Structure 1
Amino acid sequence: MRLQKFMAKAGIASRRKSEKIILDGRVTINNTMIKELGFKVDPKKDIIKVDNKKIFLEKEKIYIILNKPVGYITSVSDQFNRKTVIDLVSKVDQRIYPVGRLDYDTSGLLLLTNDGDLTYKMTHPSHEVNKTYIAEVKGIPNNEELKQFKEGLKIEDYITSPADINIIKKDKGKSTVKITIHEGKNRQVRKMCEKINHPVIKLKRVSFGDIRLNDLREGDYRFLTDKEIRYIKDEINEK
């Protein structure tokens, strides 16, 4: 088995992040540092360590949905000692990590798991999973601005894929919109709203494909149902 695949299956990180850990010289096999991507390991014979701690294949796969509050970092740890989403699931014994990310100042649906293969597939650009957000923005977008948002916007060095946006509430000087995108570039929804001159005031993700936040309270989490787990696995296997 390739080393980065073993690390992902062991719940260390996604394959992509596991590759970085390897290149950073944090992995040893039988007490020898390995910095070669694709190095083959035998989980039954080799002693594999990350940061000098032996790692094993996870026996039980964990799938969690969390309603992330604003003010938490989407990371397993933080060098500045800021609160992370893992602090909110401290009662879970297995080592888990986020699927994708939500910005520090964005709330809502976040998936966490120890299934490295699934994380890799779900976050790969080829898997266009719809993500829906409720955003409170400054002003009220007009028809032309909504059209531009839906057709694609030039942001920095890329043009966004077609998206969906609908006004669901109008207030004095601001509005609430429902936005659906399938890309996941850094702060993309905020940048798109800024591009049409309606900066985000509040942003919350409410669904990830067919998995919905519904009435899960902010800061709380629950385990995915069997139906939701099947949906995720079917979704990634079809693409």
Structure 2
Amino acid sequence: QSLNPPRPPHRLYLLLHKPRGVVCTCHDPQGRTTVLDLLPPLYQGVGGLHPVGRLDADSSGALLLTNDGAFTYYLSHPRHHIPKTYRVWVQGQPPEKVLQRWRQGVPLDGVMTLPAAVQLLRSEGDRSLLEIILHEGRNRQIRRVADQLGYPVVALQRIAIGPVHLGNLRPRAVRPLSRRELAALAYPANREDSA
């Protein structure tokens, strides 16, 4: 019988390009494809892997996965206000005064949203592409604000979580975070065994 203590589980920090139609849960009673189903065999047997935060099924883009609960808590805590950047197609061509309302905050469920960075990138016909940077993550926030302002979302993609950018990662693909990315997130844990 070995006297060596069991090794702590290897901590993983992954970036997934979540496609539309995939749900951000570990198990889905309705049998839909989950983000864990997309992981390659290398990561399939890792216990405790879970998504950090959410992207609704209709949205795509950057999603972090980890088996480090402290990392999840750190990134999810409102005190850290880690910005998330989105590219959002909306119906119509919102004028500057509407974008300014969005920037300043809009009441959702009786509580004002935090100020957001909202920039019109371009308009094409009857739709417009916005870049939106949020410092909070209320349920379906961008979609609900867009509906309230009269410019419903056509397509939504998250392109960055803080300093971690989707870049040219293809839909359904996954990669480990680099040491530099973890350091840029200012995560204080010991990261010796990370990628």
TM-score (norm 1): 0.73
- Superposed CA RMSD in Å reads 1.6
- Larger Rg, first or second structure (1 or 2): 1
Q: CA deviation at 1:57?
A: 7.7
One-letter amino acid matched to 2:181 = E
- Give CA deviations for 1:102-123 in whole Å, capped at 9, x if unaligned: 0000000000000111101111
Q: Higher relative contact order by CA 8 Å / sep ≥ 6: 1 or 2?
A: 2
Distance 1:195 1:125 in 2: 24
Q: CA deviation at 1:90?
A: 4.2
Which residue of structure 2 aligns with residue 74 of structure 1?
A: 24
Do 2:85 and 2:132's aligned partners in 1 also have CA atoms closer than 8 Å? yes
Aligned length, in residue pairs: 182
Unaligned runs of 5+ in 1: 1-43, 45-55
Do 1:122 and 1:236's aligned partners in 2 also have CA atoms closer than 8 Å? no
**Counterpart of 1:126 in 2: which secondary structure?**
helix
Distance 1:205 1:106 in 2: 8
Query: What percentage of aligned pairs have identical amino acids?
Result: 35
Distance 1:72 1:115 in 2: 22
1:141 aligns with 2:94: yes
Unaligned runs of 5+ in 2: 190-195
Q: CA deviation at 1:132?
A: 0.4
Which residue of structure 1 aligns with residue 106 of structure 2?
A: 153
- Give CA deviations for 1:173-196 in whole Å, capped at 9, x if unaligned: 111110000101100011111121
- Give CA deviations for 1:211-237 in whole Å, capped at 9, x if unaligned: 1000000110101111112222x2568
TM-score (norm 2): 0.89
Do 2:143 and 2:152's aligned partners in 1 also have CA atoms closer than 8 Å? yes
Do 2:87 and 2:156's aligned partners in 1 also have CA atoms closer than 8 Å? yes
Consecutive aligned runs of 4 or more in structure 1 exceeding 3 Å deviation: none
Quick one: structure 1 residues 58 and 140, their matched pair in 2 at CA, closer, same or farther if it must change by over 3 Å?
Answer: farther
One-letter amino acid matched to 1:82 = R
